[in-house]
Structure 1
Amino acid sequence: MDETNWRDLLKPPADGSSPCWGPDSGLRARALFPVRVNAYFAALIQSADDPLGRQVIPSAAELDDPATADDPLTEERQSPVPRVIHRYPGRVVLLVSDQCAVHCRFCMRKRRVIQTHRDGKPQLDRALAYIRQRTDIQEVILSGGDPLMRADADLAALLSELRAMPHLRRLRIHTRMPGVLPQRVTPALVALLAGYHPLYVNIHFNHPAELTPAVATACNRLADAGIPLGSQTVLLKGVNDDPVVLTDLMERLLDLRVRPYCLHMLDRVPGTRHFQVPVERALSLLAALRGPLSGMGVPHMMVDLPGGGGKMALTPDAVIAKGPEQWWIRNWQGGIYTYP
């Protein structure tokens, strides 16, 4: 893709009506998963093939992918009511938004993000009723989409309702907003979140180029408010599958008081094969981080097992057997799952 074409993908509507946009013509990949990039993040991209451009600009490689499962982790099957994923005892994921500030081309929930859910409040009310009735649930993870796409008033109402449930011990927010639209992390938002301790925020960062001064300001605001921060990184071929890049990313996150938490293997949704890093390579990258990084800077290497097996750290105890086409991995319950 030449310079002109990829920049054309990121032009806003002529009427300037929206901070996010998706053009109507171009690559077929765009029809399968629309482009959405806000002006802040677009300004950071130098080319379609740089580490930031590869994450959000559609590629013909997305069409060359035999993966067919829109929901390879079977989240829908483990959803007792809409917007709740209940996979583990004691905690649930609550999908509070179907929108994001950018569309990551490797998004694990493309199936939800590209839909328009007009009945969000009835679904959310039903989800909250489920959590209220299940007194064995101790932790709720707000996810989506991106929870911080919701207005402050909506977040305050939601967090208040959750905090009023006596059996909930912890709340967690999983977001990419501080890295892709740090202006969203206003003093007002931070003050709001700080009223619901213990509350944790895990932020999605993939490359050091994302860590701008504006991002540092956003993270410092959250950390200064006493909100523990962790990072989640997706291992992506051509973006961060390099020990120097990963070491730099983790070091700089520690400087921002963001604890590296998880380095995720790619979830195999359609259109993502060109991002996949082989398991053997992933483990060698993790090994390369030990030594250059202090222990608190080394993330867990996590794989979310296809078929609903859940997240599992890739360790010698977890890997049962290796074949030329797949590995066999034991999950936290002792079940054996295959991973390509």
Structure 2
Amino acid sequence: MELWQQMIRDSIHTVDQLVEKFNIDRKVAEELDEFFQARINPYYLSLIRYPGDPIWLQCVPDVKELEDLDGYEDPLLEDAMSPVPNITHRYPDRVLFLTTSQCGMYCRFCTRKRKVGNSDKISMRQLESAFKYLEEHTEVRDVIMSGGDPLMLTDTMLEKIIKRIRQIPHIEIIRIGTKMPCVLPHRITPKLVEMLKKYHPIYINTHFNHPWEITPESAKACQMLVDAGFPVNNQAVLMKGVNDDPQVLKELFLKLLKIRVRPYYLFMADETRGANHFRTSLDKGLEIMFALRGNISGLAIPHFVIDAPGGGGKIPVLPDYILHRDEEKIVMRNYQNKIYVYREAKNEENKIEVEISGNDNGKLPKPKKLKKSAKAVVSEYEIT
């Protein structure tokens, strides 16, 4: 048995352990266990510095989960977009391939808690229908392996799946969505890396939410992956009490760059049942993104997105940098809140007709004009 597997076995997961270790009322612990089981491996447990800290909030069950009656079991409608078991096909050229129900640590904000931890919901027995779907749908060029966490599989089982995907001619890219570099970096072994190298191009999407999660162990895991030629991207979630502070996220993103992990996405928290206490306002997210832009390298700034409820996909959100726009000029503010005017180009490009869903005349709608004129907007600020 490898070290990482032993650490999974040694994880906190029973009601008795929750009561003893975290002083949770037994009745509450039983209800939480029924709602969404816990798994906190010894490594991630060691990152907790004090009760209620950002690490604790992500992994220790909380009675607030039971008080959330407004969230959705499947906020992104993944199940409705699942043509066969284990496959979600939302975008034209890529699919989500669920390979296992198990994770190295069960995040309390998990958007897939309806399935995670339940081998009946994400079953290895149904992989053949998933492979057949991929073979038949030649428009698919990109497969994102997820779960659960694909790296919870043994090297042998993981290779069987990847090798089978690589045999499909029209599939160009394989992505592995894994939180292991963050929650159990011991899983990233030389043997695993050597196996994965045979099936390039493979991209790794990992998931750090707080700078305390970047440790010598997690840095080494990411180094092994990057040195072996795997681009590693990070997908963080904005969460109240965890990282809803520009200084915290600035530290996280800069530390990620230092270990050669690119900040890729920052998500607004999904409307998942049991996770409402993690959600922030959109204004809070926009405030943080505005505080980051210009103050740290563009390399360190992720796309800020909302994964639209109802399966609408990822929608990028930006602070309001455009204050006014008309046919002659664009009035903008920069990261210092200083105002600048950019003269609009006068050419035929502004008149190109395009098809827009819900717009019967097929023309690009004209920019909305503010009540104030550009001159009035500019006069409120000192033009640099």
CA contact (8 A) 1:247 1:292 kept: no
Determine the C-alpha separation between the residues in 2 that align with 1:68 and 1:51.
22
Name the residue aligned to 2:23: none
Name the residue aligned to 2:301: 298
Residues 45, 238 of structure 1: alpha-carbon distance in 2 compared, 3 angstrom cutoff: same
Moved more, 85-94 or 194-203: 194-203
Match of 2:57 among 49, 54, 57: 54
Deviation track 1:287-339 (CA, whole Å, cap 9, x = no partner) reads 1111221011100001111111111111369xxxxxxxxxxxxxxx858xxxx
Moved more, 110-119 or 40-49: 110-119
Determine the C-alpha separation between the residues in 2 that align with 1:114 and 1:143.
13
Deviation track 1:164-206 (CA, whole Å, cap 9, x = no partner) reads 1110111101110010000000001111111111110011000
Post-superposition, which runs of at least 4 consecutive aligned residues in structure 1 deviate over 3 A? none
Determine the C-alpha separation between the residues in 1 that align with 2:65 and 2:316.
27
CA contact (8 A) 2:286 2:319 kept: no
CA contact (8 A) 1:105 1:272 kept: yes
Determine the C-alpha separation between the residues in 1 that align with 2:118 and 2:225.
31
Name the residue aligned to 1:20: 11
CA contact (8 A) 1:96 1:142 kept: yes
SS of the aligned residue for 2:288 comes to helix
Match of 1:169 among 159, 167, 172: 172
Match of 1:275 among 262, 274, 278: 278
Determine the C-alpha separation between the residues in 2 that align with 1:147 and 1:110.
16
For 1:173, give the aligned amino acid: I
Match of 2:255 among 241, 252, 255: 252
Deviation track 1:85-142 (CA, whole Å, cap 9, x = no partner) reads 0000000000011100111000000000142328823311110110011111000000
Moved more, 157-166 or 118-127: 118-127
Match of 1:98 among 98, 101, 107: 101
Q: Unmatched 5+ residue regions in structure 2?
A: 1-6, 17-25, 321-355, 359-384
Name the residue aligned to 1:183: 186
CA contact (8 A) 2:99 2:124 kept: no
Determine the C-alpha separation between the residues in 1 that align with 2:108 and 2:170.
37
Determine the C-alpha separation between the residues in 1 that align with 2:294 and 2:122.
50
Residues 307, 119 of structure 1: alpha-carbon distance in 2 compared, 3 angstrom cutoff: closer
Name the residue aligned to 1:242: 245
Name the residue aligned to 1:149: 152
Name the residue aligned to 2:119: 116
Aligned length: 306
Name the residue aligned to 1:74: 77
**TM-score normalised by the chain length of structure 1:** 0.86
Match of 1:228 among 227, 231, 255: 231
TM-superposed CA distance for 1:64, in Å, is: 2.2
**Between Structure 1 and Structure 2, whose CA radius of gyration is higher?**
2
Q: Unmatched 5+ residue regions in structure 1?
A: 1-15, 318-332, 336-340
TM-superposed CA distance for 1:48, in Å, is: 2.9
CA contact (8 A) 2:68 2:274 kept: yes
Determine the C-alpha separation between the residues in 2 that align with 1:283 and 1:140.
31
